[in-house]
């Protein structure tokens, strides 16, 4: 769910930058996200169908939202650490992990390359390699670029659909967004939920990867430009740490693996 969508009573509304605030603020850009209503406002939760994304990105509030309970369930499981040298359990090393189980009629749709698969079958899937069924679809996934509704607009918003990382936490370290867009833009406001802490394991080195804070999917950034910004199909709203770039010929490696994927709308 985009972070600028809120629940107002029984309907949904959008937070928008407000330049005419009824109070004084010391924010550097002087703009807060705001909705004018006398009703109770709360966070919106759930998932937007594809048809609702088109409405939302044109600056209108969505009307239909699918709850998480309709799509999947969370399953907590307990375990105990194993001493690999002895093959026995370690004392006082209990842990709990949370898994996701998809509901009936819910599936993940993905494109893969360089793999030969039958029309239907079974495969190992997920962190534990559990059995899952798959079915080959011949209709390609629609590119994210088709969800660019900014057109010639000088005011646009960027909505993350995969995590992003920036050297300055929630933005580039020097606040210079031109390195991301290849053009001069001004950040007006942002709706950024709490960060995701992501790490992993470096298989090549046999050590854990450092834990880093990422901007989560659903974060929304509001920008303004003097001229309409042109977005390439390869546009990525993320940076890559210097040490990772050095290992990848100074390329924006995290963009290449899918971080910083966005949808573009107007406000």
Write out pLDDT tens, residues 96-107.
988 888 998 899
pTM: 0.86
The pLDDT of residue 202: 82
pLDDT per position as a tens digit, 132-157: 899 998 888 777 777 888 888 899 99
What domain count does the chain have? 3
223-250 per-position pLDDT tens digit: 999 998 988 888 999 999 998 999 888 8
Residues 162 and 221 reside in one and the same domain: yes
The Cα 138–Cα 144 span in angstroms is 18
Following CA atoms 38, 59, 44, 165 in sequence, which dihedral angle do they give, to the nearest 10 degrees? -130
Closest CA to 259 of 228, 232, 237, 229: 237
219 and 125: one domain? Answer: no
Are residues 50 and 89 located together in one domain of the fold? no
* pLDDT band per the 50, 70, 90 thresholds, residue 28: low
pLDDT at 109 > cutoff 70? yes
Closest residue by Cα to residue 221 from 167, 267, 182, 255 = 267
Same domain for 157 and 178, yes or no, is yes
Same domain as 243, residue 153: yes
Indicate if the alpha-carbon torsion angle 44, 45, 48, 53 is positive or negative: positive
| 176 and 123 share one domain | no
Assess whether 153 and 203 both reside in one domain: yes
Of 115, 135, 155, which residue constitutes the final position of a domain?
A: 135
- Give yes or no: residues 219 and 131 share one domain: no
Asked if residue 259 and residue 166 are part of one domain, the reply reads yes
Q: Measure the CA–CA gap between 211 and 110, rounded to whole angstroms.
A: 27
Range of the domain at 124: 72-105+107-135
Same domain, 196 and 157: yes
Look at residue 53 and tell me whether its pLDDT is greater than 80.
yes
Radius of gyration of the chain (CA): 22
pLDDT band at 167 (very low <50, low <70, confident <90, very high): very high
């Amino acid at each position: 769910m985009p972070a600028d969508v809120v629940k107002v009573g029984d309907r949904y509304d959008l937070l928008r930058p407000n330049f005419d605030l009824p109070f004084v603020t010391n924010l550097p850009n002087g703009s807060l996200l705001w909705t004018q209503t006398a009703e109770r406002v709360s966070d919106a939760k759930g998932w937007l169908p594809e048809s609702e994304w088109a409405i939302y990105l044109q600056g209108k509030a969505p009307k239909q939202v699918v709850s998480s309970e309709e799509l999947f369930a969370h399953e907590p499981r307990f375990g105990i650490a194993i001493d690999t040298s002895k093959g026995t359990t370690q004392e006082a090393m209990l842990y709990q992990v949370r898994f996701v189980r998809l509901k009936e009629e819910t599936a993940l749709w993905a494109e893969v390359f360089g793999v030969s698969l039958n029309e239907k079958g079974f495969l190992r899937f997920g962190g534990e390699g559990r059995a899952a069924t798959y079915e080959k679809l011949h209709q390609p996934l629609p590119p994210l670029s088709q969800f660019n509704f900014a057109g010639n607009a000088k005011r646009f918003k960027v909505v993350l659909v995969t995590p992003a990382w920036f050297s300055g936490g929630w933005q580039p370290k020097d606040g210079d967004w031109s390195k991301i867009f290849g053009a001069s833009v001004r950040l007006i406001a942002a709706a950024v939920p709490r960060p995701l802490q992501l790490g992993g394991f470096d298989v090549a080195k046999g050590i854990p990867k450092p834990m880093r804070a990422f901007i989560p999917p659903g974060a929304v950034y509001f920008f303004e430009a003097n001229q309409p910004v042109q977005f390439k199909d390869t546009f990525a709203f993320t940076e890559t740490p210097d040490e990772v770039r050095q290992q990848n010929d100074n390329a924006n490696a995290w963009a290449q693996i899918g971080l910083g994927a966005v949808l573009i709308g107007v406000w």
